[in-house]
């Protein structure tokens, strides 16, 4: 991904690096050949070496040539280091691309329908580079690309997810970004997901608290957060005992994710790195019913407001991403029908009326004929009820 980015952003830099690598290889080969030639002459020399004028001339030539080659090798190494330093300035973009790619790939563990190819992802990666705002400073340009690419990947994948899986995908993005930045560890994410599921503790002291919640609290108190391995909630059971009335009130809040946390509020809000994650873990542990709402608050902090707002992709936006060999597939809920919207857009593109075939029994031949006409003329074709002709599709 870094090479792909540099080839777009700093093409001359990538070409220089390639040329230098070729030069180093060529000069190293010349040096090796000179050494072999010298060893061969020494092995076949007869009589005194000092009397062999040809050999002495060859030695002088090899010495001079060897010195030139070594100087070129040193110069090449210095230039390679210089070019590599310039390339490294763009590495955060490649790192973010890698993080996003594995978020996308791992969604197939939820539903195989979410399978996305590397080729598809590279198109999104290129889009982030090509469509992001230019900037004179490299660090600003890098940030612009990261923002544009993250937004584009989110919008593209979000478009094809079932509603119930959308928060999951955004959480994966946020967690992996924080892990890459070494603000969270995989174990931190694990304690958020599992909480007290693996804990056995029968020492619950409060009638107003469920056993499951107590186990979650014990799990939080035993976990070391972040790369600094901080027992942030180590004293949580004792603090609840000390301020039981305040904690019971917090547990009973209608919106605990927006309420002040007894004895912890200042500590969480002042931790700029993982404060929101600590808050999320606490809400998930004590009020599981408010976890999704707490997740949205966490996502707004980590990714931005637009990642928690409703997304509506217009047909014009989708059309910009299509090619003549890349159809658009609509997965519709009951009662939804985009046909009118497609026709309205077709009028603007002077493609109206569009050819339409409602798939089903004996409709494959009409559909194929319409498809052939579309190939020849560029005419748009809309196939409805595709699920009734899966083999044809």
CB atoms within 10 A of CB 298: 25
State the SS3 of 169-220.
HHHHHHHHHHHHCCCCCHHHHHHHHHCCCCCCCCCCCCCCCCHHHHHHHHHH
For all residues of the chain together, what is the average pLDDT?
87
Q: Helix 118-131 and helix 91-106: axis angle, to 10°?
A: 140
Q: Are 144 and 135 in contact (CB under 8 A)?
A: yes
User: Who has greater pLDDT, 57 or 168?
Assistant: 168
Residue 33, H or E segment: helix 11-44
User: Mean pLDDT, to the nearest integer, of 235-254?
Assistant: 91
* pLDDT tens digits, one per residue of 119-156: 999 999 998 899 899 988 889 999 999 999 999 999 99
Q: How long, in residues, is the chain?
A: 393
* pLDDT tens digits, one per residue of 371-388: 999 989 888 999 999 999
Nearest to 387 by CA among 356, 366, 355, 360: 360
User: Mean pLDDT, to the nearest integer, of 85-106?
Assistant: 92
Q: Which pLDDT does position 386 carry in this prediction? A: 92
Q: Among 65-69, 203-207, 343-347, which range has the highest average pLDDT? A: 343-347
Q: Which pLDDT does position 280 carry in this prediction? A: 94
* pLDDT tens digits, one per residue of 248-298: 999 999 999 999 998 888 878 776 668 899 999 999 999 999 999 999 999
| b (16+ CB within 10 A) / e for 132-171 | beeeeeeeebbbbbbebbbbbbbebbeeebeeebebebbb
* pLDDT tens digits, one per residue of 360-373: 988 999 999 999 99
The answer to pTM > 0.75 is yes
Q: Can you tell me the distance from the alpha carbon of 13 to that of 87, in angstroms, rounded to the nearest whole number?
A: 8
Q: Which pLDDT does position 36 carry in this prediction? A: 80
């Amino acid at each position: 991904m870094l090479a792909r980015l540099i080839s777009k952003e700093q093409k001359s830099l990538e070409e220089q690096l390639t040329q230098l690598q070729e030069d180093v290889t060529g000069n190293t080969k010349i040096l090796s050949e000179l050494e072999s030639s010298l060893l061969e002459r020494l092995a076949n020399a007869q009589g005194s070496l000092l009397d062999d004028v040809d050999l002495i001339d060859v030695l002088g030539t090899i010495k001079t040539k060897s010195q030139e080659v070594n100087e070129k090798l040193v110069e090449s190494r210095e230039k390679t280091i210089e070019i590599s330093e310039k390339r490294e300035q763009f590495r955060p973009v490649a790192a973010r691309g890698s993080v996003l790619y594995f978020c996308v790939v791992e969604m197939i563990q939820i539903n195989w329908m979410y399978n996305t190819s590397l080729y598809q992802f590279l198109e999104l990666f290129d889009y982030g580079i090509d469509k992001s705002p230019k900037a004179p400073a490299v660090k600003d340009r890098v940030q612009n690309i990261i923002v544009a690419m993250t937004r584009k990947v989110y919008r593209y994948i979000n478009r094809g997810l079932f509603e119930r899986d959308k928060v999951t995908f955004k959480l994966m993005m946020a967690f992996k970004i924080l892990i890459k930045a070494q603000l969270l560890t995989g174990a931190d994410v694990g304690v958020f997901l599992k909480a007290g599921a693996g804990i056995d503790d029968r020492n619950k002291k409060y009638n107003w608290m469920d056993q499951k919640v107590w186990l979650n609290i014990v799990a939080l108190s035993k976990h070391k957060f972040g790369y600094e391995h901080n027992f942030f909630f180590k004293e949580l059971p004792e603090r609840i005992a000390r301020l039981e009335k305040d904690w019971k009130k917090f547990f009973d809040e209608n919106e605990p994710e927006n309420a002040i946390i007894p004895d912890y509020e200042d500590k969480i809000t002042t931790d700029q790195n993982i404060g929101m994650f600590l808050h999320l873990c606490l809400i998930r542990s004590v009020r599981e019913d408010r976890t999704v709402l707490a997740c949205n608050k966490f996502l707004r902090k980590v990714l931005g407001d637009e990642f928690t707002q409703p997304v509506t992709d217009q047909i014009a936006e989708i059309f910009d991403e299509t090619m003549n060999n890349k159809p658009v597939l609509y997965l519709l809920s009951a009662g939804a029908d985009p046909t009118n919207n497609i026709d309205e857009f077709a009028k603007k593109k002077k493609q109206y009326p569009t050819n339409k075939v409602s798939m089903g029994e004996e409709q494959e031949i009409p559909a194929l004929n319409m498809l052939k006409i579309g190939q020849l003329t560029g005419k748009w074709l809309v196939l409805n009820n595709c699920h009734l002709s899966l083999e044809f599709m």
